[in-house]
Amino acid sequence: MQARLLLEDGTLFTGTSFGSEGDSVGEVVFNTGITGYQEVLSDPSYCGQIVTMTYPLIGNYGIIRDDFESIRPFIHGLVVREHEEAPSNWRAQYTVGSLLKEYGIIGISGIDTRMLTRKIRHYGVMKGILTTSSKSTAELAEMMGTTPFMCDQVSRVSTKSVFGAPGSKERIVVVDYGAKSGIIRDLTKRDCDVVVVPQDTTAEQIRRLAPDGVLLSNGPGNPKDVPEAVATVRELIGEFPIFGICLGHQLFALACGADTEKLKFGHRGGNHPVKDLSSGRCFITSQNHGYTVNEESISGTDLIVTHINNNDRTIEGLKHAKHPAFSVQYHPEAAPGPFDSSYLFDDFIEVIRKHKVDNPQLPRQAQMLAAWKASASSTSEKGELHYAKK
């Protein structure tokens, strides 16, 4: 069946459909990864986007249950040069086409993805509509024009309830703005007691979970679309050690008074060089984001730039000058071949342990006794029962 991709500038690509049928509007972006298409498909950060893979052959090793980064794919369409319908891999359980069909996602193959990528690099990301219908170009353009960009992606992809991955060491509350499974895996690998909470969890609700540290996860869209998350992060800074990843990095920056802005075509791929300013070392990182922290806005805040992108010099890492909080724009859990950045999880645990030493707490028994004495000294008459407060 024929499929078409129409961009908002009027460019029309015609190819062969695979996956589902219908119409889908989204932001057309590209990813430069040679492998990892399944991780791209299942990364919640791509919610609302039509993803173009620059590597020409996609689907050759199939889809594997153990390689998902979330429970389902969230992309709005997949654009490839060549789609392999018969994967050759002993681990493969089904094909890319069958996965897309199961979740109602349209795929298009057989188009010039080099031309499309060069257009996005030159003019920037743009809206597009992917269709298998027989609608005219004018009808498609009208449909695309009347469909606004999504601004509620975080609420769409975040967990709706609290869940845990028990461990015997530090308790880490992961605020799920679209968290990848790799983040949970890296924390549980270190025997952390992980509690994952929805994106709209308040600071007070997080306090009641008694965390040792708070991790702000990756996620889709514009960080300014979730102002309530910024307010929550601002309230938690200084109270708990904080580690932000990708969207979490941007929310951390906004909470500290910095600003964010949209990149021309974003960073999406597994080979982005990042320089650690303290050591001078270069790390090869996996990235997926369309926004960045504005460098000029850092002035006047308590933020210190720790990492920069070696390609375009954008900010890739921050830390707070006064409190145990830091963040990175890239994905230390992704491991696109190199495991360069996984040390950041160890750094986070060390920050938590140091914070505990520097801020000793009363033993639990003493805290409970103090709370009881405060309650007993209230204005209630002698002999009146004291009920627990909610």
In a domain, 345, yes or no: yes
- Candidates 340, 339, 295, 288; CA nearest to 314 is 295
Q: CA-CA distance, 195 to 175, in Å (whole number)?
A: 9
Q: Are residues 232 and 321 in the same domain?
A: yes
- Last residue within a domain, chosen from 149, 169, 195: 149
Does one domain contain both 107 and 137?
yes
Residue 390 has pLDDT above 50, yes or no: no
- Comparing CA positions, the residue from 373, 242, 387 lying closest to residue 302 is 242
List pLDDT tens digits, range 85-121: 999 999 999 999 999 999 999 999 999 999 999 999 9
132 and 228 part of one domain: no
Nearest to 190 by CA among 349, 380, 359: 349
The reply to whether 237 and 330 lie within a common domain is: yes
Final residue before a domain boundary, out of 122, 149, 176: 149
Q: Are residues 128 and 51 in the same domain?
A: yes
Q: Are residues 253 and 347 in the same domain?
A: yes
CATH number (domain holding residue 111) = 3.50.30.20
Does any domain span residue 64?
A: yes
Q: Identify the pLDDT of residue 383.
A: 46
| Residue 16 counted as domain residue | yes
Does 375 reside within a domain?
no
The share of the chain scoring above pLDDT 70, in percent, equals 96
Please pick, among 83, 246, 249, 289, the residue that the annotation labels catalytic: 246
Q: Which of 76, 267, 272, 331 is catalytic?
A: 331
Percentage, residues of the chain above pLDDT 90: 88
- Could you list the residues known to form a binding site, using ranges: 45, 219, 221, 247, 250, 288, 290-291
- Tens of pLDDT, residue by residue over 110-151, are 999 999 999 999 999 999 999 999 999 999 999 999 999 899
Q: Return the pLDDT at 365.
A: 82
CA–CA–CA angle 5, 225, 233 (5° rounding):
135
Residue 369 included in any domain: no
Shared-domain flag, residues 80 and 206: no
Decide if 334 contacts 283 (C-beta within 8 A): no
Residues 102, 167 share a domain: no
Q: pLDDT band at residue 227, thresholds of 50, 70 and 90?
A: very high
243-275 pLDDT, tens digit per residue, is 999 999 999 999 999 999 999 999 999 999 999
For the chain, what is the domain count?
2
Which residue, among 50, 16, 10, has the nearest Cα to 268 in the 3D structure?
Answer: 50
Indicate yes or no: pTM above 0.75. Answer: yes
The structure tokens listed for 383 are 């002999």
Same domain, 193 and 328: yes
Q: Would you state the pLDDT for residue 379? A: 52
Asked whether residue 387 is domain-assigned, the answer is: no
Torsion angles phi and psi, residue 359, rounded to 5: -130, 70
Q: Is residue 381 part of a domain?
A: no
What mean pLDDT is reported for the chain?
93
Query: Would residue 331 show up in a list of annotated catalytic residues for this protein?
Result: yes
Read off the pLDDT band of 337 (50, 70, 90). Answer: low
Tell me if residue 249 is catalytic.
no
282 has catalytic annotation: no
Asked if residue 166 and residue 112 are part of one domain, the reply reads no
pLDDT at 3 over 50: yes
As annotated, the binding site for L-glutamine includes: 45, 219, 221, 247, 250, 288, 290-291
Q: DSSP code of 111?
A: S
90 three-class SS = coil
Q: Is 168 a residue whose pLDDT tops 90?
A: yes
Same domain, 189 and 168: yes
Q: Do 109 and 167 have their domain in common?
A: no
Give domain status of residue 57, yes or no.
Answer: yes
pLDDT of residue 378: 58
Domain boundary pick from 92, 115, 149: 149
Q: Which helix (H) or strand (E) holds 224?
A: none
Range of the domain at 287: 154-358
284: domain CATH number is 3.40.50.880
